[in-house]
Amino acid sequence: MNAAAWFGVCGATLVGVGLFGLVTNPEPLRKILAFNLVGSGVFLMFGVVAKRGAAVGLGGDPVPQALVITAIVVAFAATAMAIALLLRLFEATGEANLDSSLSGDAKRG
Amino acid sequence: MTILLNVFTVLAVVAGAFFFLAGTVGLLRFPDTLTRLHAITKADNLGLGLIILGLLPLASGPIQALKLISVWLLVQISGAIVTQLIARAVRQGGLQE
Amino acid sequence: MLNAAGLPDATTGSASLVLSIVLPVAGVVLSLVLGGRQAERIALVLLPIGLAIASVIFVQVTWGGHSLAYIVGDWAPPLGIVLRADGLSATMMMMTAVVICAIGIFAVADFRTPADVFEARAPFAFWILLLAIWSAMNIVFVGGDLFTLYVALELLTFAAVPLVSLDGRAETLQAALRYLLFAILGSVFYLVGAVLLYGTYGTLDIAMLSERVHADPATIAAAALMTAGLLAKTALFPLHLWLPPAHAGAPAAASAVLSALVVKGSFFLVVRLWFDVMPGIPGAAGTQVLGALGAAAIVFGNVLALRQQRLKLLVAYSTVAQIGYLFLMFPLAFNTASSALQSGSALTAGILQAISHATAKGAMFMSAGLMYAALGHDRIAGLAGIGRLLPMTVFAFALGGVSLIGLPPSGGFLAKWLLLDAAVVSGQWWWAAIMLAGGLLTSGYMFLVLSRAMTPALEPVKLHATIPQYQQAAALALALCSLLLGLVAFSSFDAVQIGRPVAAQVG
Amino acid sequence: MTTSLALDIGLAGLILAIGTWTVFARDSLAAVIGFVGYGLLLAVIWVRLSAPDVALTEAAIGSGMTGMLLLGAAARLRTERNHATGIGLRGRVAVGVLCVMISAGLAIVILFPPESIPTLAPAVMENLAQSGLGNPVAGVLFVFRALDTLLEKVVLILALLGIWSLAPDRAWGGVPGLRIYLEPSSTLTFLAQLLPPVGIVVGVYMCWVGANVPGGAFQGGTVLAAMWLLVMIAGLRNVPPIDRFWLRFLLVIGPVIFLAIGLAGFVLADAFLAYPAGYAKPLIVAVEVALTLSIAVTLGMLGAGPPERSQHS
């Protein structure tokens, strides 16, 4: 069980913990935080796969590392949009939660 | 000569670690925010300074030594200023404990 | 013709694949700099050009009889990325081009920059987001690498979410936030699947993966997680909660784009994953589960649509139901002999269903938007007299309904005919029962709406806004496309089957 | 060997502990502050996984910029009493079991890799020399998978446009509502005068050196964006209104040049996004410089948020 395996297990657990937070926590801000946790867990798994693929004098396989860099920037863009939506929702309605009766008629259907 | 340097490194790093420990203990034990801020900033800056001092002999060249020292300077500046800002916010009742 | 990695020896004349992606992206970038009024002009200029490129690709694929491929950056997979357009992607690109052109013409009236200001928010954002959705859809259809498809899915999500809350009302902001949270949950699941596949096979290229894939725990886990993620983005039954408020709250042209196209992007990736990457992995159980979710979506979607008081919500719930139809093709395409998904007539039926739903739903949301603009509300109970006021719009809505119900000669009819035929051939009668029940329920709420619209109004209905003829014509044109799609049955060839890995089975 | 393994296990355990705490902590602001620390420790893990490029990106974008946005949001939402009732206990247990199964499944799959570990490292190394780049990750980003990097830049621009489109109509073209220290506090002004020169040098260095050693456009651009935000927050520079031509031009200069060079590949080299032989390195460095500028401006405006005040008021 080398270091990479331990980080892999840590990444896998982070995915589970973050997923739990994303689904169960009612507050949208905490859901966005949990999404970032799941994202970092998945990226860690990319890192472990890269570390396993180390060869030819490289510390790790550069392809998954490049994929992670792209994915981190995309995840940041998602977080930025989600937070802007949340703040705008808070300004417009004075409360920041998802299950209020605002779109009630959709619920009643 | 290298033994002397190694002993110096070990001593400096251990002392630095001790100050970090002291800072953390201060963080947990002190009653209110201002004293905690005081403890953390003082102890950690000194601790980091000692650790970097200890690592200087191991640096592979003058450039890397300069990089280490610049790390320490940056942490010093940002630590001090952020502490000031938090303290100002606390004094104006922004952040309750 | 195709060498081992599914690449034609020479990338002959398939530069059009690159143009189909790059042109809308160039449009987005240029309009951002040139500002509001130019954004509309750039978009309107790019509409015909994009339609022309899509038709060129469609002609190249259908007459050439083989799929096109383009190696980006001159690095072949597994290192580089390849763009592939087979019959499947060519037909879907044609549909996307037609629907976006119709919606573009329709939206000119709603999203025009007022004369007194250099740039207005909604028009500027709408035209750029429309181009971004077009480029994202084209990448989804021609992308050959699973990670490029991930970035395309994110491009699609980031272009679709702002469309939901384009008019800034509070409940649309909440619907947009819930949509974004579901979408990013889906994309995280997709990424986990991608990392498992790369960890096991060392490549993310679709053609190479399909050669190396074998049933081991990592691949099954990757298939399950990626499919779950894509189902969240496609709003299939248990994960459909975000769709109705989002699609109903958006402005007319935006909800047409969302319901007709954006939902089809992630659906197309499920098709690509199950039919191209790992036909042998899901097995009978997997396809039956997907079919069951589809059936549940049909029942719940239609029942909830029947109980809606507002027209746009009714149409949105009808989308949830019609998405269920799309997933009925998976169990029907399962070949028990080779225990793999067979690219036969069931696949053609599914794609035909997707195309006819896209055109029909685009027309229905456009006409619902026009009725909303004309009456100032969209309560179904208050639709009396609209039939006389906007005959062409109500006629377009009715034609869209005909295609959803599946009456001849509509595309929906042909798709349901092929699906019923596959159900009979494979002896899975329960899917046939579901389809017929779905058809009945769909006709239920269609007649509900049309009967209200046709009743003469007691007192003369006051028109809130004059509806330009070309908007009604755009909706009617799209509805006619969906209606006449059924005539494609008489054409000799089956475009969808071109370039399919397995020998096409005559339906 | 065991001491470094023990360190790694300790690091992994610490990361897991902080991650779990941020999910279950009651106070959102505390959870966000914990998340920033979590992000920086994550960067250390990336160094242990010998992926310095990713460590830089994680520290700069993953915990830096994301942390700043989350902190800003947590501070603004503090007044909102959280009365939203979440899922019932039965629901939480069901979701918990599902998450444990997913985690266990992923852990098992990670712990038992296939016999022959597939890797593209040799393929990258032999073809890297042809592109004249020294940093393999930059090689993958700008040569082998250039399409992904181009699309990702468009994703960033779309996210910014999406955020701008949330503004009220009257504030369109106006100034983003970045929280600015109205009464200039001397200490923050001191920091905003001292740090930016250092930050700009570091950012430019990271972009410049990215072709051969870990670094690159994204990481450098983020540091520059952070410096710009610091100067704006300290009130030394006012936030630009979003309809300025120079702002829009800088936003798109990166993808425009990348696209132009890509299209030139049709003619000069023999494929889209291919670089003519021998000219790969200068072209890529030009693209990286343009991308750094664009990323710095895009991330800066993403941090500033949607426009709230029209210019005249």
User: Does position D211 have pLDDT exceeding 50, yes or no?
Assistant: yes
Query: What ipTM goes with this model?
Result: 0.92
Report which of C353, C344, C256 is spatially closest to residue C298, judged by C-alpha positions. Answer: C353
Cα-flanking dihedrals φ and ψ of residue C8, to 5°? -65, 150
Residue of A20, A38, A89 to mutate when probing chain D, most D C-beta within 10 A: A20
pLDDT at residue number C31: 92
DSSP 3-state helix, strand, coil percentages of chain B (rounded to 5)?
Answer: 85, 0, 15
Answer whether C223's CB lies under 8 Å from C192's CB: no
Q: What is the mean pLDDT of chain B?
A: 86
CB–CB contact B85 D187 (8 Å): yes
Cβ-based contacts of C218 with chain D (< 8 Å):
109, 114
Provide the percentage of residues in chain C whose pLDDT is more than 90: 56
Q: Is C384 helix (H, G, I), strand (E, B) or coil?
A: coil
Cβ-based contacts of A100 with chain C (< 8 Å):
174
User: Does position A105 have pLDDT exceeding 70, yes or no?
Assistant: no
CB–CB contact C187 A78 (8 Å): yes
Query: Is residue B80 assigned to a domain?
Result: yes
**Distance (Å) from the C-alpha of residue A108 to the closest C-alpha of chain D?**
19
CB–CB contact D190 B78 (8 Å): no
User: Does position A57 have pLDDT exceeding 90, yes or no?
Assistant: no
Instruction: Count other C-beta atoms under 10 Å from residue D142's C-beta.
Output: 30
**Distance (Å) from the C-alpha of residue D21 to the closest C-alpha of chain A?**
10
Answer whether C382's CB lies under 8 Å from C269's CB: no
| Residue A93: closest C-alpha in chain C | C170
pLDDT at residue number C9: 42
CB–CB contact A103 C245 (8 Å): yes
Confidence of residue D132 (pLDDT cuts 50, 70, 90): confident
**Distance (Å) from the C-alpha of residue D194 to the closest C-alpha of chain C?**
33
How far, CA to CA in Å, does B35 sit from each of B32, B38, B77, B91, C76? 6, 5, 19, 12, 62
| Residue C83 DSSP one-character state | E
pTM score, whole prediction: 0.93
Summarize pLDDT for C267-278 with one digit per residue, the tens.
999 999 999 888
Contact of chains B and C by CB distance (3 or more pairs under 8 angstroms): no
Query: Is residue A65 assigned to a domain?
Result: yes
- Alpha-carbon distance C435 to C165, whole Å? 34
Counting the structural domains of chain A, the total is 1
Counting the structural domains of chain B, the total is 1
User: Does position D156 have pLDDT exceeding 70, yes or no?
Assistant: yes
- Alpha-carbon distance D286 to D292, whole Å? 10
Domain that holds residue A73: 3-95
Answer whether C132's CB lies under 8 Å from C71's CB: no
Nearest to C132 among D108, D152, D158 (CB): D158
Summarize pLDDT for C199-209 with one digit per residue, the tens.
999 899 999 99
Report which of D103, D146, D184, D191 is spatially closest to residue D288, judged by C-alpha positions. Answer: D146
| Mean pLDDT within C106-117 | 86
Q: Is C4 helix (H, G, I), strand (E, B) or coil?
A: coil
- The DSSP string of A52-84 is HT--TT-SS-HHHHHHHHHHHHHHHHHHHHHHH
pLDDT at residue number D84: 63
- Alpha-carbon distance B66 to C351, whole Å? 64
CB–CB contact A15 D102 (8 Å): yes
C-alpha distance across the termini of chain C, in Å? 25
| Residue C454 DSSP one-character state | H
Cβ-based contacts of B81 with chain D (< 8 Å):
187-188, 190-191
Answer whether D250's CB lies under 8 Å from D292's CB: no
- Residue ranges per domain, chain D? 1-76, 87-115, 119-313
Confidence of residue D55 (pLDDT cuts 50, 70, 90): very high
**D191 touches B: beta carbon within 8 Å:** yes
Answer whether D291's CB lies under 8 Å from D252's CB: no
Q: What is the number of residues in chain B?
A: 97
| Mean pLDDT within D140-161 | 92
CB–CB contact B81 D198 (8 Å): no
Angle at C370 between CA C369 and CA C376, to 5 degrees: 85
User: Does position C196 have pLDDT exceeding 80, yes or no?
Assistant: yes
Summarize pLDDT for C243-296 with one digit per residue, the tens.
999 999 999 999 999 999 999 999 999 999 999 888 888 888 888 999 999 999
Answer whether A94's CB lies under 8 Å from A102's CB: no
Report which of C127, C55, C81 is spatially closest to residue C495, judged by C-alpha positions. Answer: C55
Query: Is residue A105 assigned to a domain?
Result: no
Q: Is D309 helix (H, G, I), strand (E, B) or coil?
A: strand
Residue written as token pair 């179904």: C380
Burial C158-194 (b: 16+ CB within 10 A, else e): bbbbbbbbbebebbbbbbbbbbbbbbbbbbbbbbbbb
Answer whether D109's CB lies under 8 Å from C217's CB: yes
- Alpha-carbon distance B63 to B71, whole Å? 12
- Alpha-carbon distance C371 to C63, whole Å? 42
| Residue D198: closest C-alpha in chain B | B74
User: Does position C504 have pLDDT exceeding 70, yes or no?
Assistant: no
- Alpha-carbon distance C501 to C496, whole Å? 12
Give D 47-76 residues with CB within 8 A of chain A.
48-51, 53-54, 57-58, 61-62, 65-66, 69-70, 72-74, 76
Among C6-15, C146-155, C485-494, D67-76, which range has the highest average pLDDT?
A: C146-155
Instruction: Count other C-beta atoms under 10 Å from residue B60's C-beta.
Output: 7
Confidence of residue A106 (pLDDT cuts 50, 70, 90): very low
Summarize pLDDT for C339-391 with one digit per residue, the tens.
888 888 888 899 999 999 999 999 999 999 999 999 888 888 888 888 888 89
The β-bridge partners of C379 are C310
**D162 touches A: beta carbon within 8 Å:** yes
Instruction: Please state which of the ranges A87-101, C396-410, D221-235 shows the lowest mean pLDDT.
Output: A87-101
Angle at A39 between CA A16 and CA C193, to 5 degrees: 75
Query: Is residue A100 assigned to a domain?
Result: no
- Alpha-carbon distance D289 to D302, whole Å? 20
**Distance (Å) from the C-alpha of residue A99 to the closest C-alpha of chain C?**
9
Answer whether A8's CB lies under 8 Å from A48's CB: yes
Answer whether C161's CB lies under 8 Å from D162's CB: yes
- Alpha-carbon distance C40 to C78, whole Å? 40
CB–CB contact C154 A74 (8 Å): yes
User: Does position D25 have pLDDT exceeding 80, yes or no?
Assistant: yes
Query: Is residue B13 assigned to a domain?
Result: yes
Cβ-based contacts of D79 with chain A (< 8 Å):
none
Parallel, antiparallel, or unpaired: how do β-strands C68-72 and C81-85 relate? antiparallel
pLDDT at residue number A2: 80
Helix (H) / strand (E) containing D175: strand D175-176
Q: For residue D200, give both structure tokens.
A: 């700009």
Confidence of residue A29 (pLDDT cuts 50, 70, 90): very high
pLDDT at residue number C301: 93
**Distance (Å) from the C-alpha of residue A26 to the closest C-alpha of chain C?**
12
| Residue B71: closest C-alpha in chain D | D198
- Alpha-carbon distance A67 to C145, whole Å? 12
Answer whether C152's CB lies under 8 Å from C171's CB: no
- Alpha-carbon distance C505 to C338, whole Å? 13
Give D 253-292 residues with CB within 8 A of chain A.
none
Instruction: Please state which of the ranges C102-106, D213-217, D223-227 shows the lowest mean pLDDT.
Output: D213-217
Interface size A-D, in CB pairs within 8 Å, comes to 280
CB–CB contact A4 D49 (8 Å): yes
CATH, residue A58: 1.10.287.3510
Confidence of residue D184 (pLDDT cuts 50, 70, 90): low
Query: Is residue B17 assigned to a domain?
Result: yes
CB–CB contact C173 A85 (8 Å): yes
Q: Is D205 helix (H, G, I), strand (E, B) or coil?
A: helix
Query: Is residue B96 assigned to a domain?
Result: no
Q: For residue C116, give both structure tokens.
A: 């007194």
Answer whether C113's CB lies under 8 Å from C36's CB: yes
CB–CB contact A35 C177 (8 Å): no
DSSP 3-state helix, strand, coil percentages of chain D (rounded to 5)?
Answer: 70, 0, 25
Confidence of residue B94 (pLDDT cuts 50, 70, 90): low
Cβ-based contacts of A37 with chain C (< 8 Å):
none
pLDDT at residue number A96: 77
Report which of C74, C69, C80 is spatially closest to residue C142, judged by C-alpha positions. Answer: C69
Nearest to A88 among D62, D86, D166 (CB): D166
Cβ-based contacts of D120 with chain C (< 8 Å):
78-79, 202-203
CB–CB contact B85 D190 (8 Å): no
Give D 4-33 residues with CB within 8 A of chain A.
4-5, 8-9, 12-13, 15-16, 19-20, 22-24, 28, 31-32
Query: Is residue A22 assigned to a domain?
Result: yes
Angle at D108 between CA D103 and CA D111, to 5 degrees: 120
Domain that holds residue B22: 2-91
pLDDT at residue number C12: 52
Confidence of residue A103 (pLDDT cuts 50, 70, 90): very low
User: Does position B92 have pLDDT exceeding 50, yes or no?
Assistant: yes
**C177 touches A: beta carbon within 8 Å:** yes
Instruction: Count other C-beta atoms under 10 Å from residue A31's C-beta.
Output: 22
Cβ-based contacts of A74 with chain D (< 8 Å):
152, 155
- Alpha-carbon distance C63 to D288, whole Å? 42
CB–CB contact D191 B78 (8 Å): yes
- C444 vs D266: which has the higher pLDDT: C444
- D19 vs B94: which has the higher pLDDT: D19
Answer whether A40's CB lies under 8 Å from D15's CB: no
Kindly calculate the radius of gyration of chain C based on its CA atoms and give it in whole angstroms. Answer: 22
The β-bridge partners of C84 are C69
- Alpha-carbon distance B44 to B42, whole Å? 6
Listed in sequence order, the residues at least 6 apart from C480 whose beta carbon sits closer than 8 Å to its beta carbon are C399
Instruction: Count other C-beta atoms under 10 Å from residue B76's C-beta.
Output: 15
pLDDT at residue number A108: 33
Residue D216 φ/ψ region, left for φ over 0, alpha for ψ in the -120 to 50 degree band, beta for the rest: left
Identify the contact set of chain A against chain C, taking CB-CB distances under 8 A.
15, 22, 28, 31-32, 35, 38-39, 42, 45-46, 49, 52-53, 63-64, 67, 70-71, 74-75, 77-78, 81-82, 85-86, 88-89, 92-93, 98, 100, 102-103, 105-106, 109
Cβ-based contacts of C193 with chain A (< 8 Å):
none
- Alpha-carbon distance C227 to B23, whole Å? 50
pLDDT at residue number C505: 38
CB–CB contact D151 C155 (8 Å): yes
Parallel, antiparallel, or unpaired: how do β-strands D307-309 and D175-176 relate? antiparallel
Give C 230-249 residues with CB within 8 A of chain A.
244-245, 248-249
Summarize pLDDT for C23-65 with one digit per residue, the tens.
999 999 999 998 878 899 999 999 999 999 999 999 988 888 8
Nearest to A87 among D46, D49, D76 (CB): D76
Query: Is residue B61 assigned to a domain?
Result: yes
Neighbours of chain C (3+ CB pairs under 8 A): A, D
